Amino acid sequence: MATLYDVCKKTGLSTATVSRVINGSGLVKEATRERVLKAMKELNYYPSHAARMLAGSKTDTIGVILPVIDNGYYVRVLRGIDVVSTRANLKLLISFYHSGSDLSDILSSLSGEGRADALILSNDTPLQPEQIRKLAGSDIPIALIGQKHEDQPAMDSVLLENFQGAGDAVKHLLEKGPKSLIVITGPEDNHDSQERLRGVRQAVADAACDVELVVLHGDFYHEGGRAVFEEYVKQSGAFPEAVFAFNDAMALGVLDVLNEASVSIPGDVQVIGFDNNEIAQYIGLTTVRVPMQKIGEEAARLVAERIKNKELPAESVLMETALVARKTTGNGASFSSPKM
């Protein structure tokens, strides 16, 4: 491997000058610059990332922590992060987190060992107070996705208009004047889920009608949604007239149950999900669209900016949601189950 010294030798210049052209820090005569560039190409020289990191104390990489969830959601978020960070010449160091793994480990190798200049923590990567304290010490910019963090240290965050989106969904459902409305939430500690529930309650209150609102606790998984809904139906002995699952996966579980019982959708029961994932689009599930890629882009933008200027005040970006009315609430052609 050619080193900077080889380039110096070849050009007869000092390390300082060669370093300057590598970093494009101006202050170099154009002719010299070209001479160096030529030598670099001829030697097939690439600056050692390790050395630059050590000497320059910056890594040009941003650490991303994603939950281990195989659906398309986080790929899209990741893609958004990628778009913006590629543009900013930042590489992505990615770690997956699941409840069995140790977030502290991940955090210390990313920030403690100085592998990254900034961090993006996605939903479902629960920060413990102690970890936050450590992170604060390392003072590396952090952007949170779908999580809030009000105390010090200041962290940027990208949030969803959950309240609004859930409210829209409920309003849409109530248009047909159902007697009963079931919502299936995500995990209790999930911020998105909490906000959606607030939105639901508010919308129901605002509607000033007398729907019966039942809150079922789900887990954001297909099977979980199915199970909790099935259980409810068994207990109550009847189907509700409207169901709002806090994500599409669970809504799909609800549809399973409904289809197996040959209930007409949306004739007897309306169903709405949240996310607008691939299957929802495919089968015509009414849902609330979440701008996944944009979320990633915003998160990357936030940290990229903060890397340049750490003094910026923490920013919180709210991403818009939008109701997508489809067949399961009577829009478009009628729904017919893909599973029989």
| Binding region for a second copy (CB under 8 A) | 1, 44, 46-51, 53-54, 57, 59, 61, 68, 70-72, 74-76, 79, 82, 86, 91-96, 101, 108-109, 112-115, 134, 137-138, 252, 278-279, 282-284, 327, 333-340
82 binds, among a second copy, DNA, none (CB under 5 to 8 A by kind): a second copy
Give Cα separations from 224 to 124, 206, 213 (angstroms).
17, 30, 20
270-272 and 242-245 strand pairing: parallel
Of residues 12 and 313, the one with the C-beta less far from DNA: 12
Q: Using the rule CB under 7 A, which residue among 25, 44, 262, 309 binds DNA? A: 25
Cβ-based nearer residue to a second copy, 56 or 177:
56
Q: How many CB atoms lie within 10 A of CB 335?
A: 25
3-state helix, strand, coil in the chain (%, to 5): 45, 15, 35
Contact track, DNA, 278-317, x by CB under 7 A: ----------------------------------------
For 33, the 3-state DSSP assignment is helix
Binding mask 317-336 for DNA (x = CB under 7 A): --------------------
How long, in residues, is the chain?
340
β-pairing, 322-324 with 287-289?
antiparallel
Closest CA to 80 of 300, 310, 297, 235: 297
- Using CB under 7 A as the binding criterion, the count of chain residues that bind DNA stands at 31
Name which of 15 and 334 has its Cβ closer to DNA.
15
Nearer to DNA, 38 or 217 (CB): 38
b (16+ CB within 10 A) / e for 43-65: bebebeeeebbeeeeebbbbbbb
202 binds, among DNA, a second copy, none (CB under 5 to 8 A by kind): none
Tokens of 241: 């007239």
Are 66 and 144 contacting, i.e. CB atoms less than 8 angstroms apart?
no
164 binds, among DNA, a second copy, none (CB under 5 to 8 A by kind): none
Q: How many CA atoms lie less than 13 Å away from 100 in the CB half-sphere?
A: 1
CB nearer a second copy, residue 128 or residue 334: 334
Residues 259, 331: Cα–Cα separation, whole Å? 18
In the complex with DNA, the residue whose CB is nearer, 57 or 235, is: 57
Binding mask 43-62 for DNA (x = CB under 7 A): --x-xx-xxx-xxxx-----
Which residues here bind DNA, judged by CB under 7 A?
1, 3-5, 12-17, 19-20, 22-23, 25-29, 31-32, 45, 47-48, 50-52, 54-57
